[in-house]
Structure 1
Amino acid sequence: MASINPHINFNGNAEEAFNFYRSVFGGEFTKIIRFKDLANDNFQVAEHEADKMMHIALPIGGNFLMGNDVPEILGRTNESENRSKIVIKAESKAEADHLFNGLSEGGNIEMPINDSPWGTYFGMFRDKYGIEWMIEFDTRN
């Protein structure tokens, strides 16, 4: 079966955001590539961007959350626009609460986690990095 691995763009704070995500989900990064790691004569990297993330990956369950910093020459990512949401299907109500409370810390809660009209335990928020999340546990399973 296919899997979905979200990839998020950041404006220079990908490492900070991913350390935060790791503090909530646990685990270890499977890959970290900095722009300086790829620098060569054909791929010049500005000194102030050398330590920024070209790629970072955190395994979550059987999938990966991936991200990178957008180089300044490509412009900025609009952190206020409505980006696609990352949906997490929790395995228990306790896990849903843990993920919701951890990831929403410092962010804006759009829908507090609670029993939903469609029969699941659901919450929605934008984290402190502008990323939108939905956490859901299906109480009917």
Structure 2
Amino acid sequence: MATLNTYLNFNGNTEEAFNFYKSVFGGDFAVLQRFKDSPGCEGMAVGDQEKIMHVALPIGGNVLMGTDITDPMPASTFGTGISLSVDAGSEEEANTLFNNLSAGGTVTMALEKMFWGALFGMATDKFGIQWMVNYDYNKK
């Protein structure tokens, strides 16, 4: 069965927002990764390199995740400020979920094996909802 987590996009204040969420919900970040620490981001503007590429805060049985929007991504506005992240239980399920969610919509990042050990892709469905599909090979 798939797990549905919330992924929030911010216009440069992800760290501030997630420190607030941490103060509200408690716990520790499972992941806090800056763009400067990620392959392929070396050419980004110096200010953008310090921004958050990915942060994850476990809350109960779910995870609240987020990122900073950087160029050339569009600024976060109502309707695009949230992506729903689905963690599939298998590679087959990830492919099925991704194909079904992207049908009639737009694939923004093809479902591919990524450097962090997962099968990952992004799509906006035909209703304008942003989805991220992930299958973590390390959780086999």
Scaled by the length of structure 2, the TM-score of the pair is: 0.53
Distance 1:82 1:64 in 2: 19
Structure 2 counterpart of 1:61 = 60
Distance 1:60 1:6 in 2: 11
Structure 1 counterpart of 2:24 = 24
| Structure 1 unmatched ranges of 5 or more | 87-141
Distance 2:35 2:81 in 1: 24
* Over 4 Å off, 4+ runs: 80-84
SS at match of 1:73: coil
CA-to-aligned-CA distance 1:29-54 (integer Å, 9 cap, x gap): 000110000154x7522101111000
Q: Shift in Å at residue 74 of structure 1?
A: 1.3
The structure that is strand-richer by fraction is: 2
Q: Shift in Å at residue 2 of structure 1?
A: 3.1
Structure 2 counterpart of 1:50 = 49
CA-to-aligned-CA distance 1:49-99 (integer Å, 9 cap, x gap): 111000000000111000000113212111x45866x9xxxxxxxxxxxxx
Distance 1:35 1:81 in 2: 24
Structure 1 counterpart of 2:6 = 6
Q: Identity of paired residues, percent?
A: 48
Q: What amino acid sits opposite 2:14 in the alignment?
A: A
Answer yes or no: is the 8 Å Cα contact 1:7–1:66 preserved in 2. yes
SS at match of 2:19: helix
The size of the alignment, in residue pairs, is: 84
Q: What amino acid sits opposite 1:5 in the alignment?
A: N
Distance 1:51 1:82 in 2: 22
Greater RCO (CA < 8 Å, at least 6 residues apart): 2
